[in-house]
Amino acid sequence: MNTHPALINAIDLQQLQIDDATLLIIDLCSSENYNAGHIPGAVHIKPSQLSKGEKPAPGELPELATLQQLFQSIGLKADKHIIVYDDAGSSWAGRMIWTLTLIGHNKVQLLDGGRHAWQKAGLAFDTEISTPTTSDIQIQIDTSHIANMAEILTKLDNPNFKIWDARSPGEYDGRKILAQRGGHIPNAIHLEWTDLTDKEGFLLDNETLKNLLTAKGLTADKNIVTHCQTHRRSGLTWFVAKKLLAYNNIKAYPGSWSQWGNTPSTPIAMESFKSPN
């Protein structure tokens, strides 16, 4: 059971580096940014390592053995207190926390504001590459946090089932097409992932976040599935609902629009546009 709040700020993290011998900091920034400077002691994981990377649904989970090898390589153990951050609006950090939740590791926090937060606090970066001691951890996947296409198809007309589309407005309404077909899953509710943060990438307060979701009909009593194109951006939306707002009935759809929009038989909805006069 995780007794830590889901978010941590840069100053508290700096103190934690002194006080907590079980600390494991995971950096999900670009390789360029990690090499240019990272939080001291942070181990680097390439964001691409969190996804399978195969068409038509590159956002699907890697194979179990691949994930296990990844977590062993960074020294993950059951007692580790994990802090995750990125340079991508906390989307990859959210995806990592979703992945850790799948394997039952809940002693984890997200650095609010990511790499920028550490820099803004005036704290020093390090350029020394961290080489953790590997572990022999064995993992299993809890699929209760994962939605798949077949499940969604059976629930489209269920009033207690809500789909949270975290993509941009253009992707949602079909003007921007990133798969064979554009548009959105029928009845999907649009709330872009960037609406959850301020201009610097810090998450809005919990009350504001809850009000945003409630105004869209995304309430804790509903069964919610969140997605984007490849389950990067929806890594943050899942994190906000599950970890910050305690929505127990939320899943992520890693196939996301890349799978749905590239499957000819799936139903889609699009907005109608009038041609300019």
Yes or no: say if 244 and 209 are a contact pair by the CB < 8 Å rule: yes
Q: How many CB atoms are closer than 10 A to CB 147? A: 23
Q: Please give the structure tokens belonging to residue 249.
A: 């009935």
The C-alpha atoms of residue 40 and residue 253 are separated, in whole angstroms, by 33
Q: Which strand ranges, in their side-by-side order, compose the sheet holding 250-252?
A: 189-190, 161-165, 223-227, 250-252
Question: Which among 133, 138, 148 has a CA at the least distance from the CA of 65?
Answer: 138
Yes or no: say if 35 and 4 are a contact pair by the CB < 8 Å rule: no
Read off the DSSP letter of residue 7: E
- 228 catalytic per annotation: yes
The C-alpha atoms of residue 253 and residue 61 are separated, in whole angstroms, by 10
Does residue 56 have a cis peptide bond before it, meaning omega lies within 30 degrees of 0?
A: yes
Chain centroid to Cα 216, Å, comes to 20
Q: Please give the structure tokens belonging to residue 72.
A: 């062993």
- Rounded to a whole number of angstroms, the distance between the first and last alpha carbons of the chain is 60
Residue of 100, 146, 228, 252 marked active site:
228
Residue the block writes with tokens 């253009």: 170
Yes or no: say if 239 and 209 are a contact pair by the CB < 8 Å rule: no
Collapsed DSSP state (helix, strand, coil) of residue 169: helix
Active site residues: 228
